[in-house]
Amino acid sequence: MPGPLRPKTRGARIRKDGPPTAKEEALGPHDDGAAFLGGGRLQGSPADVCLRWSEPERHEKEEAFVVAYDHSGIDALLSRLLEERPELVILEATGGFERTVVGALAAAGLPVVVVNPRQVRDFARATGKLAKTDRIDASILARFAEAVRPAPKPLPDREIRALQAIVARRRQLLGMLAAENNRLSSATKPVAKRIEAHVRWLEKELSRTERDLEAAIESSPALGENEALLRSVPGVGPVLARTLLAGVPELGTLTHKRLAALVGVAPLNRDSGTLRGRRSVWGGRADVRAALYMGALLVAARRNPVVKEFYERLLAAGKPKKVALVACMRKLLSILNAVLKHRAPWRSPHYLSP
């Protein structure tokens, strides 16, 4: 049962498969029964939700309603969507606060897709919508779903979600430790004592979290097998392996090009007319990319002969060190993707071609 959460949950697109309801008949004729639904901010207080229908003449009608982000509000939203038989429900990612709603909708068998808020905001600007309110956001998400038609993806299973939570907590503890150690260097003596006490507590908590990670891997045969496969690649340690298992559950199911774009290590073009811009990498999953960077730095230096040779060849060709290192990140990710795809431990370079 959800507690006092503070998310923003916006938007759903729904398609009617059956005959129109009395309410829809009152609104007017439908094309093939297409309807779009968008939700506003859900914070335990009322939130705008917008139901939108498209007619054959492309004249659109919208109906707004309000729900609260609590147990009864989520139940009301779920009942409404089930009544409308949705084809797609679209929500913005809000730092994890959307997960309760996503889980409830997915458990009810509704197709759900979570999108990047930046994409939706860029779409709003492109359509001339510069103002921003909950009701406008709901309508924009519905229009975004209609125009872009993002494909729903399967949600991670319970084991992966539990692993993601523990990995995220470990990352938070490391961040707090780094911040406290930085403060310690310039703190006065009385304050330094309290900071040192907090650092000791954080270190104990980090140790307990590491044990939780071990237990989560050991309790799952699938996770244990996947970690063993990843760690069979020279230079891949437990931190990188578990970060990939939690942060990239798609590993082993996508092509290496799609996976590189997903993580954010694929070079993107910046060309216009006769101008050929410099390729650069950006976006993707920053936490995974950071772990992959440290892994590639170690691997390229001495552990994996294939990646090391690749790195040295790029340097010999005149590539800057950072460009060569990003290429090694991409190469290492491709190797790990192939290892999981073929379900075979690292043995020889023929795994480089998924």
Q: Please state which of the ranges 63-67, 82-86, 170-174 shows the lowest mean pLDDT.
A: 63-67
> Who contacts 51 (Cβ-Cβ below 8 Å, separation ≥6)?
35, 36, 37, 62, 63, 64, 65, 84
> Can you name the residues that pair with 115 across neighbouring β-strands?
92
Confidence of residue 44 (pLDDT cuts 50, 70, 90): very low
Is the confidence at residue 177, as pLDDT, over 90? Answer: yes
Per-residue pLDDT band at 11 (split at 50, 70, 90): very low
With a CB cutoff of 8 Å and minimum separation 6, the contacts of 275 are: none
Q: Kindly state the average pLDDT of the residues 168-192.
A: 93
Residue type present at position 348: S
Q: Is residue 129 over pLDDT 80?
A: yes
- For residue 195, what pLDDT is reported? 95
- Report pLDDT digits (tens) over 182-231: 999 899 988 999 999 999 999 999 999 999 999 999 999 999 999 999 99
Inter-residue contact 112 to 91 (CB < 8 Å): yes
Mean pLDDT over each residue of the chain, to the nearest integer: 78
Distances (CA, A) of 17 to 11, 35, 86: 20, 10, 9
Residues 298-320: pLDDT tens digits? Answer: 877 677 888 888 999 999 999 99
Out of 52-56, 60-64, 212-216, 236-240, pick the least confident: 52-56
The contacts of residue 78 (CB under 8 Å, 6+ apart) are 104, 105, 108
Question: Given this model, what pLDDT does residue 349 score?
Answer: 57
- Mean of pLDDT values over 10-21: 41
pLDDT higher for 44 or 337? 337
pLDDT band at 180 (very low <50, low <70, confident <90, very high): very high
User: Is 159 in contact with 225 (CB distance < 8 Å)?
Assistant: no
Two structure tokens written together for 239 = 């931190």
Quick one: how far is CA 137 from the chain centroid? 20
Does residue 23 have a pLDDT over 80? no
Q: What is the pLDDT of residue 62?
A: 63
C-alpha distance across the termini of the chain, in Å: 43
Q: Which residues, 6 or more positions from 182, have their beta carbon under 8 angstroms from its beta carbon? A: none
Report the range of poorest mean pLDDT among 25-29, 89-93, 218-222, 227-231: 25-29
Question: How many C-beta neighbours within 10 Å does residue 223 have?
Answer: 20
Give dist(CA 228, CA 249) in Å, integer. 15
Residue-wise pLDDT tens digits, 226-249: 999 999 998 899 999 999 999 999
Percentage of residues of the chain with pLDDT beyond 70: 79
Q: What is the pLDDT of residues 130-143, one digit of tens each?
A: 888 777 887 888 88
Task: Say what percent of the chain tops pLDDT 90.
Answer: 33
Model confidence at 8: pLDDT above 70: no
More confident residue, 29 or 253: 253
Distance CA 280, CA 264 (A): 10
Q: What confidence score (pLDDT) does residue 50 get?
A: 52
259 vs 277 pLDDT, higher one:
259
CA dihedral 196, 197, 198, 200 (to 10 degrees): 90
More confident residue, 10 or 116: 116
**Reported pTM:** 0.69
Please give the single-letter amino acid code of residue 211.
R
